[in-house]
């Protein structure tokens, strides 16, 4: 299939679609979270960005707030630590006022043979995705419930919640757990006017995710390439932003408990996103591990917490 270029996708929403919203984006210093922040601000929201790398968070805030200075705030938080999450959530409430929305976007992942993973490797991924999303969601919701305020929780998942995926097993397991959280809390908290939804994007290339998921010339797979996506291309940040803006807006307050895929038909065309990596040799895996660990080390050196 020939790769198709992404269409320009102008926002279908008014610039005040998110006016009055105060949105927390975890993992907001890089990749999708960072790019989405600008779209949220452009539609009227105030935004809080959390992550562990202070320098990147500050740069991201400057970029996102360019059109409306003062609209973006940052905090260094390791979302695996419930004490840090609760303290930072309390600081938002005290210094800025209640959030209206949480976007659980922070993630951790790398490709590896499951039999090679140490317990610490498993936990590094699962605790970020599963514990982090739970700690962040509950820290906001406890405050909404106590204050009698409505709220909206949205999580950034993948289609692996329905299909599983070889070679990224801790991430597939943890994303599936957050999918279960989404359905469970939607039912539990609807009476408090708290909505809980998720998005499941197909591939939207970002620097760090690709360093972790396609680190060498041998590691290319259907998960990160366009040739098995029926739409013939990867998704764009603008397309993801428009889905997120709709879900965070008040346009459809009856929508809760749903995980919505946006993947150009990838999941329906062939779910085994990394399965062909089974052909790789021990030497290929050693090179993959070395490359992705080198990328992790660069990012770890930039962290303020964690």
Ligand X SMILES: NC(=O)C1=CN([C@@H]2O[C@H](COP(=O)(O)OP(=O)(O)OC[C@H]3O[C@@H](n4cnc5c(N)ncnc54)[C@H](OP(=O)(O)O)[C@@H]3O)[C@@H](O)[C@H]2O)C=CC1
Ligand Y SMILES: CCCCCCCCC/C=C/C(=O)SCCNC(=O)CCNC(=O)[C@H](O)C(C)(C)COP(=O)(O)OP(=O)(O)OC[C@H]1O[C@@H](n2cnc3c(N)ncnc32)[C@H](O)[C@@H]1OP(=O)(O)O
Counting contacts by CB under 6 A, is residue 11 touching ligand Y? no
Q: Burial level of 14, CB count in 10 A (0-12/13-18/19+)?
A: exposed
Q: Which of 179, 89, 178 is nearest to 142 (CA)?
A: 89
Rule CB under 6 A: say whether 300 interacts with ligand Y.
yes
The answer to whether residue 79 forms part of the interface with ligand X (CB under 6 A) is: yes
Q: How far is the CB of 297 from ligand Y (least distance, A)?
A: 7
The Cα 261–Cα 179 span in angstroms is: 12
197 contributes a contact to ligand X by CB under 6 A: no
- Beta strand pairing call for 259-262 and 101-104: unpaired
Choose between 256 and 292: whose C-beta lies nearer to ligand Y. 292
Q: Which stretch binds ligand X (CB under 6 A): 21-29, 110-118, 178-186, 272-280?
A: 21-29
Q: Which does 64 bind (CB under 5 to 8 A by kind): ligand Y, ligand X, none?
A: none
Distance between CA atoms of residues 12 and 6, nearest Å: 17
Task: List strands edge to edge, sheet with 151-156.
Answer: 72-76, 46-51, 22-26, 101-104, 151-156, 194-201, 259-262
Q: Are the C-beta atoms of residues 111 and 277 closer than 8 Å to each other?
A: yes
Instruction: Show the site string, 273-292: x = touches ligand Y by CB under 6 A, - = not.
Output: x---------------x--x
Nearer to ligand Y, 11 or 163 (CB): 163
Tell me: does residue 33 bind ligand Y (CB under 6 A).
no
Residue window 145-184: x/- pattern of binding to ligand Y, with contact defined by CB under 6 A: -------------xx-----------x-------------
The yes or no reply on residue 103 touching ligand X (CB under 6 A) is: no
Contact 288, 213 (CB under 8 A): no
Q: Which of 29, 44, 107, 151 binds ligand Y (CB under 6 A)?
A: 107
- Within residues 202-221, the interface with ligand Y by CB under 6 A covers 202-203, 208-209, 212-213
Report CA-CA distances (Å) from 178 to 63, 105, 202, 216, 286.
30, 11, 17, 30, 31
State the Cα–Cα distance between residues 19 and 222, nearest whole angstrom. Answer: 39
Q: Is 258 near ligand Y (CB under 6 A)?
A: no
- Site residues for ligand X per CB under 6 A: 26-27, 29-33, 50-53, 56, 77-80, 105-108, 128, 132, 156, 158, 201, 203-204, 206, 208-209, 299, 303, 306
């Amino acid at each position: 299939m020939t790769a198709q270029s992404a269409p320009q996708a102008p926002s279908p929403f008014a610039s005040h679609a998110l006016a009055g919203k105060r949105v927390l984006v975890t993992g907001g210093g890089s990749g999708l979270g960072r790019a989405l922040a600008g779209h949220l601000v452009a539609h009227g929201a105030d935004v809080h960005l959390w992550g562990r790398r202070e320098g990147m968070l500050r740069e991201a805030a400057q970029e996102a707030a360019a059109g409306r200075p003062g609209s973006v705030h940052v905090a260094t938080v390791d979302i695996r630590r419930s004490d840090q999450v609760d303290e930072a959530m309390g600081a938002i409430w005290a210094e800025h006022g209640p959030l209206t929305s949480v976007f659980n976007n922070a993630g951790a992942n790398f490709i590896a043979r499951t039999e090679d993973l140490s317990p610490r490797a498993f936990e590094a991924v699962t605790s970020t995705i599963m514990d982090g999303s739970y700690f962040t969601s509950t820290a906001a919701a406890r405050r909404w419930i106590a204050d009698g305020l409505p709220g909206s929780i949205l999580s950034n998942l993948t289609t692996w919640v329905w299909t599983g995926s070889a070679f990224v097993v801790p991430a597939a397991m943890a994303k599936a757990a957050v999918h279960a959280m989404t359905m469970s809390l939607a039912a539990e908290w609807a009476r408090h006017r708290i909505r809980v939804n998720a998005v499941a994007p197909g591939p939207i290339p970002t620097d760090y995710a690709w360093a972790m998921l396609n680190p060498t010339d041998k590691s290319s797979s259907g998960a990160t390439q366009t040739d098995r996506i029926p739409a013939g291309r990867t998704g764009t940040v603008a397309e993801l932003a428009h889905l997120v803006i709709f879900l965070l807006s008040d346009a459809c307050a009856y929508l809760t408990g749903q995980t919505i895929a946006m993947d150009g038909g990838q999941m329906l065309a062939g779910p085994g996103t990394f399965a062909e990596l089974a052909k790789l040799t021990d030497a290929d895996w050693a090179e993959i591990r070395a490359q992705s660990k080198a990328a992790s080390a660069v990012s770890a050196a930039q962290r303020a917490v964690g």
